[in-house]
Amino acid sequence: MRCGSCGHSWYQAAEAEAAAGAAPLAAKPVPAPEAPPARSRRGPRPPPKPEARPGSSARMLGWILFLAVIGGLGAGLYFGREQVVALVPGAANLYQMAGLGPPHPGVALELRDVRTVRRVVDGAQVVVVEGLVANMTDEPQAVPLLRASLTDAKGTELETWTFAASSTTLPASGSTDFETIAKNPPSEGRILIDFVATE
């Protein structure tokens, strides 16, 4: 290039060369794709268990205690029916209606002050057994026959017999005496007294 006024000359690059020598523009960074979430190796989680309703445990415990009380009461009424009849004589009819059979004879009665005395009568050795039959209830009770059982020292039964007390009925809380004699008993024998079932 040359100046028209002063004649000075210089070199001017073409526009294409200037464009080629220019610094390239910086490219915008492209964001990397997000990695997918890592899968758990334990597999899918089980569904949550249903929560117990409040009070259900207490209700179940209450039923268990209730059934235990009912079972214990029933066992007591069955195995302790003699004691129940002794306290409530009218319960004997209820037991019979339930098919449990009559209780042991004399269940409302008690043998008291039973003692044995050895004597010699007409040259023979005898044992006199005497005592009381007591009514343990507040109602009149019939007195069944009594049964005597003579055993030897080994407990072998040698002889049995029945006899009656002095009275066949007892008022409420009353008592009556009884006496029986065993002839020629063994020296180390025993005499047991019990009630006889009434027909």
76 and 154 assigned to the same domain: no
- Domain match, 130 and 179 both: yes
Answer yes or no: are the C-beta atoms of 151 and 157 closer than 8 Å: yes
- The count of domains in the chain is 2
Distance CA 82, CA 103 (A): 6
The CATH number assigned to the domain holding 152 equals: 2.60.40.10
pLDDT digits (tens, 9 = 90+) for 10-22: 666 655 555 555 4
Task: Please indicate, yes or no, if residue 30 is contained in any of the structural domains.
Answer: no
Does one domain contain both 189 and 113? Answer: yes
Do 113 and 169 share a domain, yes or no? yes
Please tell me whether residues 117 and 189 are part of one structural domain. yes
Sorted by sequence, the CB contacts under 8 Å of residue 96 that are 6+ apart come out as 102
Residue 113 sits in the same domain as residue 156: yes
125 inside domain: yes
In a domain, 29, yes or no: no
Q: Where does a domain end: 97, 120, 144?
A: 97
DSSP characters for 24-40? Answer: PPPPPPPPPPPPPPPPP
Count of beta carbons in the 10 Å neighbourhood of residue 103: 19
Q: Give the domain extent around 190.
A: 109-195
Q: Are residues 129 and 178 in the same domain?
A: yes
- Tens-place pLDDT, residues 120-144: 888 888 889 999 999 988 889 889 9
Q: Contacts by 67-72 with C-beta closer than 8 Å and gap 24+? A: none
Residue 23 counted as domain residue: no
Q: Do 116 and 170 have their domain in common?
A: yes
Do 148 and 182 contact (CB within 8 A), yes or no?
A: yes
Looking at the domain assignment, is residue 178 inside a domain?
A: yes
152 belongs to a structural domain: yes
Q: Is residue 136 part of a domain?
A: yes
Q: Domain boundary at 97, 123, 146, which?
A: 97
One pLDDT digit (tens) per residue for the chain, 199 residues? 676 677 767 666 655 555 555 455 455 555 555 655 555 556 566 666 656 565 677 788 888 888 888 877 776 666 566 666 656 666 666 666 665 655 555 668 899 999 988 888 888 888 899 999 999 888 898 899 999 998 888 888 888 999 999 999 999 989 999 999 988 777 777 889 999 865 5
Position 178 scores a pLDDT of: 95
